Amino acid sequence: MQEYLSRLDNALIAFSGGVDSTFLAKVSYDVLGNRVLAVTATSPMHPKSELKEAVELAKKIGLPHLVVEFNDILEIEEFKKNPLNRCYICKSNLFSRFKAIAEEKGFKYILEGTNVDDVSDFRPGRRALKELEILSPLLECGIKKEEIRILSKEMGLPTWGKPSYACLASRIPYGEKITYDKLSMVEKAEEDLKDLGFSGFRVRYHGDVARIELPKEQMETIFEEGIREEVVKRIKDAGFKYVALDLEGYRTGSLNEPHVKVVKNV
């Protein structure tokens, strides 16, 4: 990957502060120095805590860093309808904006952090990246998620053990309109669960019902004395009326499951 990056004149990097983009940004910075610019988009779909972490990480690494607003995504009617290709609509708009920034600031290439393991899941946003000619060095160099974690740990990056993350819109079932209020409910519920010590989970939005997906090893914890009551209280305070625990536990893309035969063709 270092050899791949060394062939680039410069690069703008889509930087979320997650495991993949942080690793990509660090290696890119090691190879290209100040010829890189990390760009983080802030929107209602991304928790404020994630933005804070991204800003702190950029400072720790020494990355030139730019934060851009992407709040108007909720003004795009087709996106708000939450169709099966929601991620395509989002990434097409977001990376078009990144492309405009790159052209304005003289960056020839735009990089993002898709890795080899990502292509096995339903990711309609990949089409937008191809259309806009965005580079995915981790994927193109054949690097897997577990390898990224191992290398990140060796490099001293604090993100090596960070749970995988997806935007808050992924908590809302396809066809259910995406609104600021729904995203805020999910954000508050998930932040509260983090405060209680849970990790690697999701809170899925189903109207009045919050469906919690926990890693299986954390399921027993939620029934400990005082914990269950606190979880229920906090999630109801976030705006939900009912709290449900999914007995299958956390799995990536669970809201894709009812559409599995359809999404393969989108």
List, as one string, the DSSP characters of 46-59.
S-HHHHHHHHHHHH
Beta bridge partners of 110: 12
Question: Does one domain contain both 145 and 203?
Answer: no
Residue 176's SS3 state is coil
Q: Which amino acid is at 67?
A: V
Q: Which of 159-173, 190-204, 233-247, 248-262 has the lowest mean pLDDT?
A: 248-262
Which pTM was predicted? 0.90
Q: Is residue 126 part of a domain?
A: yes
- Rounded mean pLDDT of 110-123? 88
Question: Does one domain contain both 43 and 88?
Answer: yes
Residue 246's SS3 state is coil
Query: Catalytic: which of 87, 90, 141, 167?
Result: 167
Query: The domain spanning residue 183 has which CATH number?
Result: 3.30.300
Alpha helices in the chain, H assignment, sequence order: 2-6, 19-32, 48-61, 77-80, 86-105, 125-131, 137-140, 145-154, 180-195, 227-237, 260-263
Domain range for 36 is 1-155
Question: Does one domain contain both 88 and 26?
Answer: yes
Number of folded domains that form the chain: 2
Beta bridge partners of 225: none
pLDDT exceeds 70 at position 258: no
Question: Does one domain contain both 2 and 99?
Answer: yes
Report which of 233, 161, 171 is spatially closest to residue 201, judged by C-alpha positions: 171
Question: Does one domain contain both 85 and 172?
Answer: no
Query: The domain spanning residue 107 has which CATH number?
Result: 3.40.50.620
**Given phi > 0 = left and psi -120 to 50 = alpha, else beta, which region is 239?**
left
Question: Does one domain contain both 36 and 148?
Answer: yes
Q: Is residue 264 part of a domain?
A: no
Contact 137, 114 (CB under 8 A): no
Last residue of a domain, one of 155, 184, 212: 155
Q: Is residue 27 part of a domain?
A: yes
Quote the pLDDT of residue 225: 87
Question: Does one domain contain both 142 and 198?
Answer: no
Q: Return d(Cα 43, Cα 51) in angstroms, integer.
A: 9
Q: Is residue 144 part of a domain?
A: yes
pLDDT exceeds 50 at position 139: yes
- Rounded mean pLDDT of 72-86? 95
Tokens read off for 79: 């996106």
In percent, the amount of the chain with pLDDT more than 70 equals: 94
Phi, psi of 76 (to 5 degrees): -85, 110
Question: Does one domain contain both 173 and 123?
Answer: no
Question: Does one domain contain both 24 and 135?
Answer: yes
pLDDT exceeds 80 at position 264: no
Question: Does one domain contain both 253 and 124?
Answer: no
- Rounded mean pLDDT of 30-45? 96
CA angle 171, 205, 20 (to 5 degrees): 15
Question: Does one domain contain both 117 and 144?
Answer: yes
Last residue of a domain, one of 107, 130, 155: 155
pLDDT exceeds 50 at position 65: yes
Band the pLDDT of 125: cuts 50, 70, 90.
confident
Q: Return d(Cα 173, Cα 82) in angstroms, integer.
A: 8
User: What is the 8-class DSSP label of residue 188?
Assistant: H
Note if 87 is an active site residue.
no
Question: Does one domain contain both 179 and 117?
Answer: no
Last residue of a domain, one of 155, 176, 192: 155
Q: Is residue 119 part of a domain?
A: yes
Contact 23, 157 (CB under 8 A): yes
Q: Is residue 7 part of a domain?
A: yes
pLDDT exceeds 80 at position 86: yes
Quote the pLDDT of residue 257: 60
Q: Is residue 33 part of a domain?
A: yes
Neighbours of 38 (CB within 10 A): 28
